[in-house]
Structure 1
Amino acid sequence: MQDFVLQADDLDQLIQVLKLRGYQVLGPVLEQDAIIYAEVDCAADLPRGWTDDQEKGCYRLRRRNDTAYFGYAVGPHSWKQFLQRPRRRVWRAQKATQPMQITAAVEAPPAMAFLGVRSCELHAIATQDRVFIDDQYRNEDYSARRAELFTVAVNCTAPSASCFCVSMDTGPKVSLPSDLAMTEVIDGNEHFFVIRSGSYEGRKVLKQLPLKPATRHHLELAERAVEGAKQQMEQGPRNFDSSDLKALLYRNYESPVWEAVADRCLSCANCTMACPTCFCSTVEDTTDLSGDYAERWERWDSCFTAEFTYISGGSVRPDTRSRYRQWMTHKLATWHDQFGTSGCVGCGRCITWCPVGIDITEEVQRIRDTEDA
């Protein structure tokens, strides 16, 4: 695949080309003191010159000393919200007609273009594909929305302190297929993107952009930027060996660590709501006052709620200890048995958005230390 250079001032042309090709462009925007994903009309909507500082239970925006478009890590929302929707109607029923009519709520999904997808997030989308498309129970709504997706991936050059994608082998360099993949480079007065296509549709988009072939100089600067992000994580406190996590957690199912973390955990479900791979949901049935009309809605749920595993006789997981153990063990261990991969991509959202600062990487290390003691 050939690499090209797109000048930063021409980024808006990429957005306009995607819109002209019928895509709803979704990307990072500044809203409510955070960088979230929403509809983007032009390059001016992007968080140019902004970055995020993240740590346990802490997220803050601050100005960068340059004009980078993608000089941030990841925000509170993931791309999951556009594929596995937080709430959707499944069917409606009308009793006034004979026989009673039950109609599936089928919506024609928009053709979406995700702009600024990080490598960890591509892995998260691929993980949800295994759950909703490749598994024996196919989610048709997810599948339809996924089929119309165009992805513009961006190599990460500014990880936050809570990122650990290097440990999970999911970043920072884009390693999964994407329609387009870019690296943002700022070097002195130079500000450009090294860009390449990864699909037939991506090549058609590139043909409509003002590009020039990338030189060795451009490629070296791009590689250096991504390597810097990798080294930052490798030298950070959250770098760890994930190769034996499944066996480690299976051996420590009754570890006292679970009780210790339960004393801090609020069972608020923030980690699962922010997680780009968590897929638990529930259904709600509603009727009108006459009883002639009913609807079923699917919405996100969490294994941290007491009602999630409630059956006749009580909850399967009645306390916080069992709920946290279920979440972490499923995420890092039993997910391998179900889907052939880890359920964690190292984005760090669960660390940042935990109100009491529980850190999944620290809990892994605590289990190791307790086992070795």
Structure 2
Amino acid sequence: MSRSRQVAHSTQGAVISASDGLAALVAVLAEDHAVIGPTVRDGAIVLARISCADQLPHHCGVELAAGRYRLVRRTDGMVFAHSAGPQSWKAYLHPQRERLWTVDRDPQGNLAFREEDGEDGEPPAYAFLGVRPCDLRAIAIQDRVLGGGPHAGTAYRRRRDRTFVVAVECTDPGATCFCTSMGTGPGVGERADGAPGYDLALTEVRDEDGHRFLVRCGGPAGERVLARLPHRTEDASTRAAARAAVTAAAQHMDKAMPPVDLHALMAGSLDAARWDDVAARCLTCGNCTMVCPTCFCTTTEDTTDLTGDHAERWQRWDSCFDLDFSHLHGGPVRASARSRYRQWLTHKLGTWHDQFGESGCVGCGRCIVWCPAGIDITEEAAALHAEATGSPATEEEAPS
């Protein structure tokens, strides 16, 4: 696992203003895409379709803690100086519920099946505006899980191929963020395959020289969009300010995974007493899996109309915390809260490596924020490490 602190790339960039430049970016993207970006609704920063830059969360920041999320007002007018909200981009690439196929029976009893991902319809062309580096890595992970291999999801691949990604580097991480220790931020980095993973990357800067964005292109599609924006060649001041902001964000990120081999730790902790401790607090609600940007488990449901001549198969998100998730004839395989939490954590941090060659955790901290019991994945990993080594947890690793 890479634990390097990622900072801005050294490639030549451009500068756009936070007013005219950002407005033009949204307008250009909206010509050919459904632009999805952060907006404010119901006391949270959530993802939604936007038509203009004014709908972005200007002046908004967030206050985060285990089991706590609050909006706070910023006086500096920053647009993206907030941590990831409760949603991730997987809601658009890997929808919560989608129809897989339908079947109709004619009067003669013949059955006609129709796959939902047939060639007669194109999925929406999305433009994701404001993808954090942790979420950029999460998209890359889901590309491998859902879009690669011998059993790639056709619908996922078609949606992903039509998606334009505008990444935004983090300059103000929340108290629950730990992407630095996972090697996934706060600056954008390359994917495992060497590709940038984004079409455009922005770094927001505000200082005595004004409010602006450093822009870098990740490929030809990004270059075409940038060419249509009012911009100027990057200057040394903006470049230095952007680099300093990302570096400072990495240095101010206090939360971290323990610096150990998490794969080996999970494999050697299956009988740890710590699982009883966390099971006493875990509600098995599945919030952590719903907000996680990489969790991908699903189940299927079949429905029919009253005549019995029309049926549909739907796929929807599921969670390994659901008692029925591991149900076989005779009952569930993992009946206890201990076994279900252990399954989630050991898979996310451990056996994910066996399946996909990397960790399933990107350090976004959503599972900490949206856990009603305030369970902290980094504290649980540190406690398991302390138990495995027979030494007390350090002050940095001690559970709160």
TM-score range, shorter chain: over 0.9
Maintained 8 Å contact 1:29/1:46: yes
1:108 aligns with 2:122: yes
Query: Using the alignment, how far apart are the partners of 1:188 and 1:173 within structure 2?
Result: 23
Maintained 8 Å contact 2:257/2:381: no
The corresponding residue for 2:5 is: none
TM-superposed CA distance for 1:80, in Å, is 0.3
Q: Of the candidates 152, 155, 168, which is equivalent to residue 166 of structure 2?
A: 152
Query: Using the alignment, how far apart are the partners of 2:312 and 2:41 within structure 1?
Result: 33
1:344 aligns with 2:361: yes
The corresponding residue for 1:4 is: 14
Query: Using the alignment, how far apart are the partners of 1:199 and 1:243 within structure 2?
Result: 36
Query: Using the alignment, how far apart are the partners of 1:145 and 1:103 within structure 2?
Result: 19
TM-superposed CA distance for 1:18, in Å, is 1.0
Q: Of the candidates 293, 297, 303, which is equivalent to residue 314 of structure 2?
A: 297
Q: Of the candidates 281, 295, 302, which is equivalent to residue 298 of structure 2?
A: 281
1:194 aligns with 2:194: no
TM-superposed CA distance for 1:136, in Å, is 2.2
1:205 aligns with 2:219: no
Q: Of the candidates 141, 160, 166, which is equivalent to residue 155 of structure 2?
A: 141
TM-superposed CA distance for 1:290, in Å, is 2.2
Amino acid at match of 1:194: L
The corresponding residue for 1:90 is: 100
Query: Using the alignment, how far apart are the partners of 2:290 and 2:149 within structure 1?
Result: 22
The corresponding residue for 1:215 is: 235
Amino acid at match of 2:219: S
TM-superposed CA distance for 1:133, in Å, is 1.5
The corresponding residue for 1:227 is: 247
The corresponding residue for 2:179 is: 165
Amino acid at match of 1:14: L
Maintained 8 Å contact 1:119/1:173: yes
- For the residue of structure 2 that corresponds to 1:167, the secondary structure is helix
Maintained 8 Å contact 1:168/1:242: no
Out of 191-200 and 1-10, give the one that drifted further.
1-10
Q: Of the candidates 69, 86, 99, which is equivalent to residue 59 of structure 1?
A: 69
Query: Using the alignment, how far apart are the partners of 2:278 and 2:51 within structure 1?
Result: 44
Maintained 8 Å contact 2:326/2:332: yes
1:18 aligns with 2:25: no
- For the residue of structure 2 that corresponds to 1:308, the secondary structure is coil
TM-superposed CA distance for 1:188, in Å, is 3.2
Stretches of structure 2 that go unaligned for 5 or more consecutive residues are 1-10, 191-195, 391-400
Maintained 8 Å contact 1:132/1:139: yes
TM-superposed CA distance for 1:369, in Å, is 1.5
What's the TM-score, normalizing by structure 2? 0.91
Amino acid at match of 1:289: L
1:92-130 Cα distance to aligned partner (Å, 9 max, x none): 111234421121123521111100011100100000011
Maintained 8 Å contact 1:25/1:39: yes
Query: Using the alignment, how far apart are the partners of 2:44 and 2:87 within structure 1?
Result: 10
Q: Of the candidates 113, 123, 126, which is equivalent to residue 140 of structure 2?
A: 126
Query: Using the alignment, how far apart are the partners of 1:69 and 1:40 within structure 2?
Result: 14
Query: Using the alignment, how far apart are the partners of 2:259 and 2:147 within structure 1?
Result: 26
- For the residue of structure 2 that corresponds to 1:306, the secondary structure is coil
RMSD (Å) for aligned C-alpha atoms:
1.1
1:49 aligns with 2:42: no
Maintained 8 Å contact 1:123/1:345: yes
1:39-80 Cα distance to aligned partner (Å, 9 max, x none): 011010000010111110000001012100101010000000
Amino acid at match of 1:110: P
- For the residue of structure 2 that corresponds to 1:294, the secondary structure is strand
Query: Using the alignment, how far apart are the partners of 1:212 and 1:130 within structure 2?
Result: 36
Amino acid at match of 1:307: D
1:248 aligns with 2:258: no
- For the residue of structure 2 that corresponds to 1:26, the secondary structure is strand
Q: Of the candidates 55, 77, 99, which is equivalent to residue 110 of structure 2?
A: 99
TM-superposed CA distance for 1:189, in Å, is 5.6
- For the residue of structure 2 that corresponds to 1:303, the secondary structure is coil
| Identity between Structure 1 and Structure 2 (%) | 49
Amino acid at match of 1:94: D
Amino acid at match of 1:104: E
1:334 aligns with 2:344: no
Stretches of structure 1 that go unaligned for 5 or more consecutive residues are none
Query: Using the alignment, how far apart are the partners of 1:283 and 1:242 within structure 2?
Result: 39
The corresponding residue for 1:372 is: 389
- For the residue of structure 2 that corresponds to 1:263, the secondary structure is helix
The corresponding residue for 1:320 is: 337
- For the residue of structure 1 that corresponds to 2:57, the secondary structure is coil
The corresponding residue for 2:394 is: none
Maintained 8 Å contact 2:349/2:361: yes
Query: Using the alignment, how far apart are the partners of 2:46 and 2:279 within structure 1?
Result: 30
TM-superposed CA distance for 1:13, in Å, is 0.4
